[in-house]
């Protein structure tokens, strides 16, 4: 029923493990293409260098959960997603707790129709 749908989940450190594990297993059981996304430290590096790091498996952000300190590796960046790519997602989920807090208090520049960025 949901096969072929794509869902993005934003991830940061101090994530609530049970919530993330639930998404991980339940969405995959339904055949959903699940993508965990964050800001990657390689943002701002030249595209060729990022591609090289990605091919070598080095473009990764490592996090620890809040309760059990479970490790989690994320290789997807939400900063790379443009409007066309975003429209291919059925949903983008911002998990509860510290993930939402950390994302909310991070300065990000949002593009506007005029082409100038607005900081939020």
Residue 8 has what pLDDT? 94
Predicted confidence band at 1 (pLDDT cuts at 50, 70, 90)? Answer: low
Residue 100 has what pLDDT? 84
Say if residue 84's pLDDT is above 80.
Answer: yes
User: What is the arithmetic mean of pLDDT over 69-85?
Assistant: 85
Residue 82 has what pLDDT? 84
Predicted confidence band at 42 (pLDDT cuts at 50, 70, 90)? Answer: low
**In whole angstroms, what is the distance from residue 15 CA to residue 55 CA?**
27
In this structure, of 33-37, 42-46, 76-80, the range with the lowest mean pLDDT score is 42-46
Q: Domain segments of the chain: what residues?
A: 6-119
Beta strands in the chain (DSSP E): 6-10, 33-38, 61-64, 71-74, 76-77, 91-93, 109-111, 117-119
Predicted confidence band at 71 (pLDDT cuts at 50, 70, 90)? Answer: very high
Q: The domain 6-119: what is its CATH number? A: 3.40.50.880
Predicted confidence band at 70 (pLDDT cuts at 50, 70, 90)? Answer: very high
């Amino acid at each position: 029923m949901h096969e072929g749908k794509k869902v993005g989940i934003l991830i940061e450190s101090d994530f609530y493990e049970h919530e993330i594990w639930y998404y991980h297993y339940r969405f995959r059981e339904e055949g959903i293409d699940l993508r965990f996304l964050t800001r990657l430290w390689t943002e701002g590096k030249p595209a060729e260098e990022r591609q090289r790091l990605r091919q070598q498996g080095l473009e990764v952000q490592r996090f620890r959960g809040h309760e059990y300190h479970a490790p989690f590796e994320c290789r997807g960046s939400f900063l790379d997603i443009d409007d066309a790519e975003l429209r291919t997602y059925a949903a983008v989920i911002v998990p509860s707790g510290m993930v939402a807090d950390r994302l909310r208090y991070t300065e990000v520049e949002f593009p506007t129709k005029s082409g100038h960025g607005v900081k939020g």
